[in-house]
A and B are shown apart, each in its own frame.
Chain A
Amino acid sequence: MSNSLDSYLILSGLLFAVGTFGFLARRNAISMLMSIELMLNAVNLTIIAFGAFEPALHTQASVIALLVIAVAAAEATVGLAIVMAIYRNRKTPLVDEYDAMKE
């Protein structure tokens, strides 16, 4: 089981689906950011799995995964800074109360 590519791809697909659900369903902005991190990790797992099983992608996949991790760190920094900036103005972390642009 640990020697077949399918099991890793299915695991990452399920992790991505869980992250999608969290992003669509949670009310807290930071919960949504955590769900985005779950989805990024699922994509990274796919890249690493393909790299481990496909000889032509062997080292490239690891390099790409490291670059993805760095970009994810940048995304988390900016995303959390935006949440903090909105929280300072609106005094709530719940996204369905951010309705200033509705009317």
Chain B
Amino acid sequence: MPIGDTLPFTAIRWDDILFVALAVTVLGSALLVVTMRDIIRCGLAMILCFASLAGIYVVLGNPLVAAAQVLVYIGAISVLVLFAIMLTQTKNAPTRLVFQTQAVAAAVAAATIGVVIMATVLATTWPAGSSRVWTSTSDIATMLFSQYVLPFEAVSVLLTAAVVGGVLLARREPAARDEDRP
């Protein structure tokens, strides 16, 4: 049985319900990421934030970017961050101060940025269509491998350089290890 565009017996659209639920999850988990004391839980809340953002991309009609978000952000970056947390966490870290001394000033600055962006968005009439359109994956592929093939190759070189740089930065120099030895 197909379900209609709206919630039964009301005029509330399913899209709107999904959007509000996902937006609340995104903002709530983002707030948890920046305020929670235990940094492992911050990392897990970050995964929730990325997942609900992928849901918002689907609501926007862009399944390819949603899939890339799940693969790259949840599958790769979050795991990398969780590994880094586990490697650097000390026993007494969660009991110590979470915020710097300038936390109040930081909150004021962030609230100002948020208010300015909201005021700008509401005051501007965007020259955009009134409804969103589904983005087809084959169109993206055609454009990525014809018009944008040079940036695509540049990004692949950048990723290789980043992997090499990451290994170089994170590895322990053999000479330094020899000096530590008595």
Contact = CB atoms under 8 A, between A and B. Distances in A.
Interface of A: 1-11, 13-22, 24-31, 33-35, 37-38, 41, 44-45, 48-55, 58-60, 62-63, 65-67, 69-78, 80-85, 87-88, 92-96
Interface residues of B, number: 91
A24 B102 contact: yes
A77 B93 CA distance: 23
A92 B133 CA distance: 49
Contact of B53 (A33, A41, A74): A41
B159 A73 contact: yes
A11 B11 CA distance: 23
19 contacts: A1-B16, A10-B122, A17-B110, A27-B97, A28-B98, A31-B42, A34-B81, A48-B57, A53-B128, A53-B129, A63-B140, A63-B143, A66-B140, A72-B77, A73-B76, A73-B159, A77-B163, A81-B165, A85-B169
B140 A25 contact: no
Contacts of B117: 9-10, 13-14, 16-17
Contacts of A38: 30, 33-34, 46, 49
Contacts of B91: none
Contacts of B110: 17-18, 20-21, 24
Given A33-B81, A34-B46, A2 B19 contact: yes
Contact of B19 (A7, A16, A84, A92): A7
A6 B46 contact: no
A16 B147 CA distance: 30
A1 B19 CA distance: 8
Contact of A6 (B15, B76, B122): B122
